[in-house]
């Protein structure tokens, strides 16, 4: 028996016409996957902190590599506020088409969920992780006028003058803040926390002598340490940094068991198509693997990573659990 031919319908014709109209308006061929034409315009990369800090430095490195790869502009947009929550929230609520991204941090996607009484977004549910960009130790630095040339001497000075010393941070809830709180707790000292709106203003306050110490991210602290404007005492990671091999870790310099490092990664809004996330991941990882980018980031104290979206997602969940314990032990809270 001959197969029955499906009758022509106006509905089918209209559907076909609609596809053709949409293709003409968007410039996309009929049946094309979203990633085939991505990126179709400039990409907006939100940095939830002010310029000149480690988040900004790393974001601009990623933007530069993507522009070279795709020939499409990547605009870095600084949106500081609320410990990074303001900028991250803007991306969480953005159109999930891959053209709006955020440089997330250990603060925005690890610490803040436990530190802030109310969060404007869910660090896991509201984002599509793309890749972990880099891990970065913090550097404990002091103003040259501080009479302490080692971690032990700083602890002794703080114990001799309870509350007299203060330390700057890039804001409540950042890894810089929590590094200081963990130090205070483990060393049993009283040092006053002075939050600033970003790492740039905080390090400037340290250089001018307004504050005495800071646990700054390596990329922004390293140039100041090498210039002599601040005195480096130790790194917060479990091992020494290749960028400052002669500077000990805090653990080996007088506070055994201490470790608190930062990390930075690219995330898109939840609902971003998987093939676009995969294309973003491939482009960013390719850039991080280039000798030029690796040398530039390593020279600033950052350790380039570049992993899969799945691994980054698992890493974020583990960091939320880890920092929940640190926040509880430190007794830190932002209402």
Q: Does residue 204 sit in the same domain as residue 279?
A: no
CATH number at residue 269: 3.40.190.150
pLDDT recorded at residue 18? 53
pLDDT recorded at residue 260? 86
Opening angle at CA 290, ends 289 and 294, nearest 5: 75
Mean pLDDT, the chain cut into blocks of 10 residues (335 residues total): 44 48 50 78 96 92 95 96 94 98 96 94 98 94 97 97 94 84 92 90 95 93 94 94 94 92 95 97 96 90 94 96 85 79
CATH number at residue 144: 3.40.190.10
Name the one residue in this structure whose structure tokens are 């280039």.
Answer: 290
The token pair at 233 is 């005492």
171, 180 Cβ separation under 8 angstroms: no
pLDDT recorded at residue 174? 79
Q: Does residue 284 sit in the same domain as residue 306?
A: yes
Burial class (CB in 10 A: 0-12, 13-18, 19+), 276: buried
Range of the domain at 275: 40-136+261-330
Q: Does residue 45 sit in the same domain as residue 128?
A: yes
Q: Does residue 107 sit in the same domain as residue 117?
A: yes
71, 40 Cβ separation under 8 angstroms: no
Beta pairing, strands 303-304 & 213-217: unpaired
297 within some domain: yes
pLDDT recorded at residue 6? 45
pLDDT recorded at residue 229? 97
pLDDT recorded at residue 335? 77
pLDDT recorded at residue 5? 45
90 within some domain: yes
Q: Does residue 230 sit in the same domain as residue 220?
A: yes
Name the one residue in this structure whose structure tokens are 């404990």.
Answer: 140
Q: What three-state secondary structure class fits 174?
A: coil
Q: Does residue 132 sit in the same domain as residue 50?
A: yes
Burial class (CB in 10 A: 0-12, 13-18, 19+), 59: buried
CA–CA distances in Å: residue 155 to residues 73, 210, 248: 48, 20, 15
Q: Does residue 105 sit in the same domain as residue 190?
A: no
23 within some domain: no
Name the one residue in this structure whose structure tokens are 């330390």.
Answer: 167
Q: Does residue 282 sit in the same domain as residue 143?
A: no
| 48 C-beta neighbours (distance < 10 Å), count | 30
Q: What three-state secondary structure class fits 262?
A: strand
Number of structural domains in the chain: 2
Q: Please tell me whether the overall predicted TM-score, pTM, comes out greater than 0.85 for this model.
A: no
pLDDT recorded at residue 10? 43
Those residues with Cβ within 8 angstroms of residue 118's Cβ, 6 or more apart along the chain or in another chain: none
Q: Which stretches within 161-269 are classed as H helix?
A: 175-187, 199-207, 218-227
pLDDT recorded at residue 209? 96
């Amino acid at each position: 028996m001959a197969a029955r031919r499906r009758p022509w319908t106006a509905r089918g014709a209209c559907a076909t016409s609609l596809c053709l109209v949409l293709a003409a308006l968007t410039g996309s061929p009929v049946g094309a996957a979203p990633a085939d034409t991505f990126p179709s315009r400039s990409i907006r990369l939100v940095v939830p902190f002010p310029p000149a800090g480690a988040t900004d430095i790393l974001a601009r490195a990623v933007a530069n590599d993507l522009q070279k790869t795709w020939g499409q502009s990547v605009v870095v947009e600084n949106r500081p506020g609320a410990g990074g929550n303001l900028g991250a929230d803007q991306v969480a609520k953005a159109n999930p088409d891959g053209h709006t991204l955020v440089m997330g941090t250990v603060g925005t996607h690890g610490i803040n969920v436990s530190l802030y009484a109310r969060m404007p977004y869910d660090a896991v549910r509201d984002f599509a992780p793309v890749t972990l960009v880099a891990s970065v130790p913090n550097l404990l630095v002091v103003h040259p006028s501080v009479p302490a040339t080692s971690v032990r001497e700083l602890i002794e000075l703080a114990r001799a003058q309870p509350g007299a010393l203060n330390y700057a941070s890039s804001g409540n809830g950042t890894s810089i803040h929590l590094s200081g709180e963990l130090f205070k707790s483990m060393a049993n000292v009283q040092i006053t926390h002075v939050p600033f709106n970003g790492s740039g203003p905080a390090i400037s306050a340290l250089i001018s002598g307004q504050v005495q110490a800071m646990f700054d991210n390596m990329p922004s602290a390293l140039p100041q340490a090498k210039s002599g404007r601040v005195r480096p005492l130790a790194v917060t990671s479990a091992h020494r940094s290749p960028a400052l091999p002669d500077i000990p870790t805090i653990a080996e310099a007088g506070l055994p068991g201490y470790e608190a490092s930062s990390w930075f990664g690219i995330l898109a809004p939840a609902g971003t198509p998987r093939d676009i996330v995969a294309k973003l991941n491939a482009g960013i990882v390719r850039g991080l693997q280039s000798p030029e980018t690796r040398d530039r980031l390593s020279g600033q104290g950052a350790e380039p990573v570049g992993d899969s979206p799945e691994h980054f997602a698992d890493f974020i969940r583990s960091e939320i659990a880890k920092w929940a314990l640190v926040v509880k032990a430190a007794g830190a809270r932002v209402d």
